Structure formats: structure tokens, C-alpha cells
């Protein structure tokens, strides 16, 4: 089997998996953004249907790009705060050991990162004092109660990005229309955006659009699994490179 046939088989397999996951369903035609039109197969009973062959190619392109980012040691920030996808996004971030925002986007997370970092450091200090027993020694019971509530708020807002020491190399969002503020900040900071998005979203606002059903758990999970595989592939390439250079040197 030649490489072309292998790639074609893999594409067909992905299209089939996308179809089984319900990835082909967009929104109603009345909600369609004009930039989504080239990625549609048809409209049935008023609902836009994605061309999954085109979706599979978009996904493959984004996957390859993420592989290159990983090979260079780049950080990916995953963003998905919609109730139906937030746990999937968080799980993917944990799997990749990457930062994530799944509760709500705090304004300035990218454009005012130095201030956000101060809040993250404050949370880290509180956690350290709590673990050492310092909080018990320094504060009254009422003060500790108030500090405990503040820690809960900080964890809710910043818990997924506590290990992010610098702005990310790329933003990966589910539904850029819902995450418009995050996308706007990324564009202001010249950070590329990969977006899993439905037919109501503007492709011109992102760098790597992946058109599919962004409100269905299985559809989003499949897309994130594919993108995660691309990132892992890049890590493997990066780890193999030094060994290959040593082999050539010897």
C-alpha cells in the first residue's frame, strides 16, 4: 500500500468517526456566518451540514501545526467554558500537562499577564502558608475563613493556569464566538488561535479553524483527541532529535 493510499484510508476513517460523533451538524441556516459557507456540504430542514472531508483536512492541518509547536517546546493554552465541553477541555489539558481556562475568562489573562501572574503568585503563597500551618499561627479563625473563601475564588479563576509562567505559544479554543474575549486578547498579543467552531463562528477571527459541531460532547472530544495526538507527536519528535544527532555524530 503506497503512502497516498494510506493517507486516504486514514482520512476516510477520520471522516467516519466524525460522522459517528455527530460532528456534521451545524446550526440553523439563519445563524450561519458567511465565512462558514465554504465548509458546508448542504442544508437539511434548515440545519447546516458540514462537509466532513473538509473538516478532516482542517483538523489535520491544525494537528500538524500543534505538532510543530510541541516540537519547539511551545505552551498551548486550552479554553472552553461552555458547560457541555468544559470537563472535556480540562481533561485534555491535564493529559497534555498544559494550562487551561474552563470556568470563565478573566479579562487581561493575556494582555495584562504580569498582573494575572501576581494573583497566581498570591494564591501560591496562601497555599504554601496553609500547608505549613502558617495561616493558623498568623490569623484568627474568622480571618482564616475569609482567606479560605478568597483561595476558592482564586482557584476557580486561575487554578488551570497556575503553572503558566509566560503567555502561550498558541490558544486552542472551543467555540470562539463564546470565547470572544479570549480570542480578542490572543489577536492583540499576536498569539495564533486554533478554534473548534460551528457554523455561527467567524473564520477570519482565528488562524486555524476546525469546523464541526462545537456543542456536542462526543464531537468536541474527538477533535481534542486528534489535536492532542498531534501535540504528543511533536513531543516525541523533540525527544528523538537529540538521540538522532548523537547517532549521526558517532
| DSSP track, 118-172 | HHHHHHHHHHHHHHHTHHHHHS-HHHHHHHHHHHHHHHHHHGGGTT--S--SEEE
What are the distances in angstroms from CA 22 to CA 27, 115, 199?
12, 41, 14
- All structural domains of the chain: 26-106+167-240 (3.40.50.10490), 113-160 (1.10.287)
Return phi, psi of residue 33, to 5°: -85, 140
Do the beta carbons of residue 104 and residue 157 sit within 8 Å?
yes
Three-class secondary structure assignment of 169-216: CEEEEECCCCCHHHHHHHHHCCCCEEEEECCCCCHHHCCEEEECCCCC
Return d(Cα 250, Cα 238) in angstroms, integer: 20
Check residue 6 and give its pLDDT.
46
Structure pTM? 0.89
User: What pLDDT is stored for residue 4 in this prediction?
Assistant: 46
The answer to whether the beta carbons of residues 198 and 214 sit under 8 Å apart is yes
pLDDT tens per residue across all 250 residues of the chain: 444 444 444 556 999 999 999 999 999 999 999 999 999 999 999 999 999 999 999 999 999 999 999 999 999 999 999 999 999 999 999 999 999 999 999 999 999 999 999 999 999 999 999 899 888 888 889 998 999 999 999 999 999 999 999 999 999 999 999 999 999 999 999 999 999 999 999 999 999 999 999 999 999 999 999 999 999 999 998 888 665 555 555 5
Q: How far apart are CA 78 and CA 65, in angstroms?
A: 15
What pLDDT sits at residue 240?
81
**C-alpha 110, offset from chain centre:** 15
Amino acid at each position: 500500500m503506497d503512502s497516498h493510499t494510506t493517507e486516504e484510508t486514514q482520512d476516510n476513517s477520520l471522516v467516519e468517526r466524525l460522522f459517528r460523533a455527530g460532528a456534521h451538524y451545524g446550526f440553523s441556516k439563519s445563524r450561519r456566518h458567511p465565512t462558514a459557507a465554504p465548509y458546508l456540504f448542504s442544508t437539511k430542514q434548515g440545519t447546516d451540514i458540514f462537509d466532513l472531508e473538509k473538516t478532516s483536512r482542517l483538523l489535520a492541518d491544525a494537528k500538524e501545526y500543534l505538532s510543530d509547536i510541541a516540537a519547539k517546546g511551545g505552551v498551548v493554552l486550552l479554553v472552553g467554558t461552555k458547560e457541555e465541553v468544559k470537563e472535556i477541555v480540562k481533561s485534555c489539558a491535564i493529559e497534555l500537562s498544559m494550562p487551561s481556562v474552563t470556568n470563565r475568562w478573566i479579562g487581561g489573562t493575556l494582555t495584562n499577564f504580569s498582573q494575572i501572574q501576581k494573583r497566581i503568585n498570591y494564591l501560591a503563597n496562601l497555599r504554601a502558608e496553609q500547608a505549613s500551618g502558617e495561616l493558623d499561627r498568623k490569623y484568627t479563625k474568622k480571618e482564616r475563613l475569609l482567606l479560605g473563601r478568597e483561595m476558592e475564588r482564586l482557584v476557580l479563576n486561575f487554578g488551570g493556569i497556575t503553572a503558566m509562567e509566560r503567555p502561550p505559544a498558541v490558544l486552542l479554543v472551543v467555540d470562539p464566538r463564546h470565547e470572544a474575549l479570549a480570542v480578542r486578547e490572543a489577536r492583540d498579543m499576536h498569539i495564533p488561535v486554533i478554534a473548534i467552531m460551528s457554523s455561527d463562528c467567524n473564520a477570519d477571527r482565528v488562524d486555524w479553524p476546525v469546523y464541526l459541531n462545537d456543542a456536542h460532547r462526543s464531537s468536541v472530544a474527538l477533535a481534542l483527541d486528534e489535536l492532542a495526538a498531534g501535540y504528543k507527536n511533536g513531543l516525541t519528535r523533540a525527544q528523538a532529535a537529540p538521540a538522532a544527532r548523537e547517532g549521526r555524530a558517532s
